[in-house]
Structure 1
Amino acid sequence: MTPTTETLTAERILEATEEVLRRHGPAKATVVDVARALGVSHGSVYRHFRTKAALREAVTKRWLDRTSASLTGIAAEARDPEARLRDWLAALFTAKRRKAGDDPELFATYQVLTGENVEAVGAHITDLTGQLTRIIRDGADNGAFTATDPATTARAVFHATARFHDPGYAQDWDQPDIDAQFEAVVELVVRGLRA
């Protein structure tokens, strides 16, 4: 099937947009480039995404949602909250570090896009802190953690570990002792939460 005869979906457009952004960067990538990559008119792209900004926001949200989705299962597991918290923080760090290291061009592009799409970033952070809240609430409910306000505690844990998931610190993630630094911070956080 040629690109022009395949059904044009929002998902196909987002995949093509990601590839165009990887090739051209956020400053030079256009809707026309995306349409060309798909073998359609730019009007076809605009039928799915009314503006270039809406397309860029959707790509950003899709990228952020991949990280959230990979953590949802850990947050929902019915097992020891301390182990879940450790695993969740480690999975978040691994996901962010992998994105920065495996595809640095695309990661740099997304740093630009996340700066443009504050609402998508805010929703992502709300989702992540919601997952943390669930883990901490479970720990408080079973007596493993002392947290009178799990949501506030979750936000504090999120901020305390920012060096290991905030893209602004990506340049630090390849330091030789970064894993030891991560483990030390997680240990400190967990000790502070224990009942």
Structure 2
Amino acid sequence: MPATSEALTAERILEATEEVLRRHGPAKATVVDVARALGVSHGSVYRHFRTKAALREAVTKRWLDRTTEVLARIATSGGDPETRLREWLAALFAAKRRKAGDDPELFATYQVLAVESGEAVSAHLADLTGQLARIIQDGVDTGVFTAPDPEATARAVFHATGRFHDPGYAAAWQRHDIQAEFEAVVDLLARGLRA
């Protein structure tokens, strides 16, 4: 077992859980495996996360938050709303493609965990559509966009671009023409929003 000279924190547990999930997959990964990887008892892990489900929810939220943080910087950066909208959608697509391509085992694991983690996924989706709504509202406020209801418009934009961020479409993200398809959809949406 590894030495436990560092204090056991929730972040260390989540890092170890991610590694255990990568190695074993969601069906076989256990809290005992996580504890073993940290060199502690499983009771120590349970002091931070009361249940296996709570641990899995937290690791899913952590994974989703990585994308949310990058996108939040774009959403709040100021500047031309159409440029921000395009950059935001491109960053979301790039993040999802990177996750699916760079670590397919962990991506597949998170697809399973996302189904279990309804609260984390719902909060993530609400955060993303909230960021889009802010960009669209800024566009309305500056006269760049026309959108009678920026929140409803944000949800519509999010759903219209689902093929480029919904994990269910991950297999299509490696196609040679996917970038051109993405750009065509974004161009159509931007034209539709312009005042």
Q: What's the counterpart of residue 55 of structure 1?
A: 55
Deviations 1:39-70 (A, max 9, x none): 00000000000000000000000000001001
C-alpha deviation, 1:5, in angstroms: 2.3
Alpha-carbon distance, 1:192 to partner: 0.5
Equivalent residue letter for 1:21: L
- Are 1:115 and 2:77 counterparts? no
**Structure 1: how far apart are the matches of 2:136 and 2:93?**
18
- Structure 1 segments unaligned to the other structure (5+ residues): none
SS where residue 139 of structure 1 aligns?
helix
Distance 1:36 1:178 in 2: 42
Give the secondary-structure state (helix, strand or coil) at the position aligned to 1:173: helix
User: Where does structure 1 differ by over 6 angstroms across 4 or more consecutive aligned residues?
Assistant: none
Q: 1:148 is matched with which residue? A: 148
Q: Does 1:30 find its partner at 2:10?
A: no
Query: What is the alpha-carbon distance in structure 2 between the residues aligned to residue 24 and residue 64 of structure 1?
Result: 20
1:169 and 2:169 correspond: yes
C-alpha deviation, 1:3, in angstroms = 3.1
SS of 2:175's equivalent in the other structure is: coil
The residue aligned with 1:178 is 178
Distance 2:188 2:163 in 1: 14
The corresponding residue for 1:14 is 14
**Counterpart for residue 75 of structure 1:** 75
Tell me the equivalent position of 2:193.
193
Residue 119 of structure 1 deviates from its aligned partner by: 1.1
**Which amino acid letter does the alignment assign opposite residue 162 of structure 1?**
G
Letter in 1 for 2:157: V
What secondary structure, in the 3-state scheme, does the structure 2 residue paired with 1:96 have? helix
Question: In structure 1, what is the equivalent of residue 3 of structure 2?
Answer: 3
Measured in 1, the distance between the counterparts of 2:123 and 2:180 equals 30
Alignment TM-score, normalising by the size of structure 1: 0.98
Hey, what's the Cα distance between the residues in 2 that align with 1:68 and 1:42?
A: 31
Identity %: 78
Q: Describe the superposition over 1:107-132 as per-residue Cα deviations: whole angstroms up to 9, x where unpaired.
A: 00000000001111000000000000
- In structure 2, the residue matched to 1:92 is 92
Q: Secondary structure at the match of 2:174?
A: coil
Match of 2:128 in 1: 128
> C-alpha distance in 2, partners of 1:20/1:66?
19
Q: CA RMSD in A?
A: 0.6
- Secondary structure of 1:4 counterpart: coil
| Matches of 2:5 and 2:96, distance apart in 1 | 36
Equivalent residues, number: 194
In structure 1, C-alpha distance between the alignment counterparts of 2:77 and 2:46, rounded to whole Å: 40
**Separation of aligned partners in 2, 1:150 and 1:163:** 21
Q: Which amino acid aligns with 1:156?
A: A
